[in-house]
A and B are shown apart, each in its own frame.
Chain A
Amino acid sequence: MKHNRFILFMLLPTLLLISFIILYPTISGVLLSFKNYSVFNFGNIKWIGMENFKEIFGDIFYMDVVWNTIKWIFFSVIFQLLFGFILALLMKEPFKGRGLYAGLVFYPWAISGFAIGLIWSWLLNGQFGVINDILIKLGFIKEGFNFLSDPTLAMFSVILVNVWYGIPFFAIMILAALQSIPNSLYEAAEIDGAGYFTKLFKITIPYIKPTLINTILLRVIWVMNFPDIIYGMTRGGPAGSTEILSVKMINTVFYESNYSKAAAHGVIIVLILLIYTIMYLKLTSKKEFSL
């Protein structure tokens, strides 16, 4: 008992610090979502109950935003995982200039998402965009694609850029996991006559499964809370076709200057992520990792 008290005492400074930097803003944000804190009400801030939530769910465009968010997360994470995996497999074996190659491949991860959004919005521009110019000069098309003005193409474009941006993270994580697989496993499998795909599905994937599970969990949370690229490229348009929940939250602050309503959006996002995390962890922890 004394031992436990001592541990608690030693942990107390850390707990207090974490409470201050995490708990306080969280509680403050939740409380804010039940108030009328906007620039027009600075002189009359009061508790308004569920009004902000009612207004959000009463928005005729809200379900479109939810649907956009699902598409954004699903396609972004699936393709980031797929291409990140392929990249990590390609980079697993040492080759000449691997360091330089790795640097080039991983560099998108080092740039700010908002800057990437702006750069790509110009690259994909229908009139002045380099990509359209290349496609026209190569004779593939006669007129430039309206990448960001057609709702379907706009969603495709922002996901494409997000995939390009997010591949390095998956590649780094998977590469690190791949390098921890003992070579003896592959050697033993080869002696038993296992081919490339047998080794991939029977050794590689099961071995790195915990990394994959954790990386996917993290990426879904990050991608959902990552408005930077969309904001830089389309700001959620055209006609809300690329507006996801986090962009909606920013637009609520930017256009309406309604901080309480934006906080309510934030609370909804946190609740969705909380439910997702619990379900995901329950599903993935059922099958214990074993070799």
Chain B
Amino acid sequence: MKKFIVFISLLLVALFAFSEETITLNLVEAFSSPWRTPTLNKIIEMFETLNPGVKINVISPPYETAYQKINLMVSTEQPLDIVEIGDWNLSTLAAMGKLEDLTPYINSWPEKNDLIDGILEAASIYHNTPYLLPHGLFAKALFYRPDVLKKYGFNDYPKTMKELYDMGKKLTESGKNQYGFAFRGKGYPTSFIDAVVTSFFDDIDPNNMYLTKSGKIVFEDPRAVEALTFYVNIYKDTSPKDSINWGWDEQVNAFVSGITPLLFQDPDTTGMLNEMLKPGQYKTAPLPVGISGKAYPSFGFVGWGIPTYSKHKDLAWKFIKFVSSAEINGYWSKAYGALPILKSVYKYDSYFSSYIFEGWTKMFEDKKHYQFTQYPLDNENWGKWNEFQEKTMQQVLLGKLSVVRCLKEWTDFWKKAGIK
């Protein structure tokens, strides 16, 4: 018995002495979905295989409340090492002072020079500091269905807002349940409204979607009246009445079924469309330009950050670096549907130069007509604005509020919010 106890004791001592301690990193994601989370888990498996002794624990709050959960977790210093941050909550998190400045890490990262132009600047909206490294980009493009357009005698996509309206009107036959445009009435219609309204301007401030270069609020400019009236007409003449109540699900559903063959959407829609439609059944094009000859797509991004209180910052950066490498970023973007952050990915993977990405490629190349513009995301009224804009816009669409009165409400909102 004594011998047995001695043997067990020696075995335990040896185990403690020679075993490597497992380090667990806690990662919280903001955009969990049945499409995306499994891909993230596969990447983590690869990382864990390459780094024995490291384990990554993924926390996936429900998508709808993820921002609030992450904000609370970071503010209360819950054990986290890697945090997924979207452009909409970056300022909030950074303002808490609990995000690590990634400048030293990024500067020593060899693939830094391969980053898409302007992406790091876009991610440095708060105090000019990169508190995150983006892993995906979003910008709205025009999705269209060549098969449906052809039935109505159109061989090409609309290049201007006027063409979009005219085409949409010709496609609309409500008796046949056929319409032109997949309108978005609810669930953050902000970027859709603004893409249309700002296309009537040629002097939008590149740093703020709601200001002209002369510092005037866009909504108090006389051009906004014409622009918003045009927007209302798109709804009235080219879209189903029910679309005042449409969010992403309904928009995409109507596009897939062919009811509305024209759609403004982000690249993450491609993942679903590739599964539901045949190759070539949908294509993408640049956003139509307005009477100004310009369009102002908003540049959204999502990335990884490190909390200041993390005990494993270097290891966390090792993971972020791994995820952001060209191979993994390509794999991730393809599965997820975001635009890759590295230029080389577009070259080595033909998928990103295919017709599916034509809309974005053309917009990125055409700097004369397309100016990627930012929202005042660091303004604390931003969240409130989304609800207010949605509600007042719906009132205009229902005829309960005039275009002029609505624009005055919007102007007052931003003046009160101290936009300038």
Contact = CB atoms under 8 A, between A and B. Distances in A.
B250 interface: yes
Interface string A107-151: 000000000000000000111100000000000001110111111
Contacts of A258: 383-384
B294 interface: no
A149 B244 contact: yes
A255 B386 contact: yes
A215 interface: no
A254 B245 contact: no
Interface stretch (B13-21, B103-111, B390-398): B390-398
A251 B390 CA distance: 12
A254 B88 CA distance: 13
A255 B71 contact: no
Most B C-beta atoms less than 10 A away, residue of A151, A154, A239: A239
Interface residues of B, number: 41
A149 B97 CA distance: 43
A237 B398 CA distance: 11
Given A42-B71, A144-B177, A237 B242 contact: no
B386 A148 contact: no
A239 B398 contact: yes
A234 interface: yes
Contact of A238 (B187, B250, B259, B398): B398
B64 interface: yes
A147 B395 CA distance: 17
B257 A237 contact: no
B244 A238 contact: yes
Contacts of B253: 128
Given A127-B240, A127-B242, A142 B398 contact: no
Contacts of A40: 92, 95, 380
A255 B384 CA distance: 6
A253 B68 contact: yes
A149 B395 contact: no
B288 to A, nearest CB: 24
Nearest to A235: B186
Interface of A is mostly: loop
A143 B68 contact: no
Main secondary structure of the interface of B (DSSP, over half): helix
Given A39-B71, A39-B92, A237-B186, A146 B242 contact: yes
Q: How large is the interface on A (under 10, 10 to 19, 20 to 34, 35 or more residues)?
A: 20 to 34
| Most B C-beta atoms less than 10 A away, residue of A40, A125, A148, A258 | A40
Nearest to A253: B68
A237 B174 contact: no
Contacts of A190: none
A149 B383 contact: no
A255 B395 contact: no
A239 B395 contact: yes
Given A149-B244, A237-B390, A238-B185, A43 B97 contact: yes
A152 to B, nearest CB: 11
Contacts of A39: 68, 71, 89, 92
Contact of B243 (A38, A143, A149, A235): A149
A280 to B, nearest CB: 33
A225 interface: no
B202 interface: no
A83 to B, nearest CB: 27
Nearest to A41: B380
A240 interface: yes
A267 to B, nearest CB: 20
B227 to A, nearest CB: 20
Contact of B241 (A149, A234, A251, A253): A149
Interface in B74-101: 75, 89, 92, 95-97
B360 interface: no
B358 interface: no
Contacts of A254: 64-65
B420 to A, nearest CB: 19
Interface in A72-119: none
A42 B96 contact: yes
Contacts of B397: 238-239
A187 interface: no
B250 A125 contact: yes
A257 B67 contact: yes
25 contacts: A39-B71, A40-B92, A42-B75, A42-B95, A126-B240, A126-B242, A127-B177, A127-B254, A127-B257, A127-B259, A146-B241, A146-B242, A150-B241, A234-B186, A235-B186, A238-B244, A238-B394, A238-B397, A239-B391, A239-B395, A239-B397, A254-B65, A255-B387, A256-B387, A258-B384
Given A238-B394, A239-B400, 12 more contacts: A39-B71, A42-B95, A128-B253, A128-B259, A148-B245, A149-B185, A238-B397, A240-B394, A251-B387, A254-B64, A254-B65, A255-B383
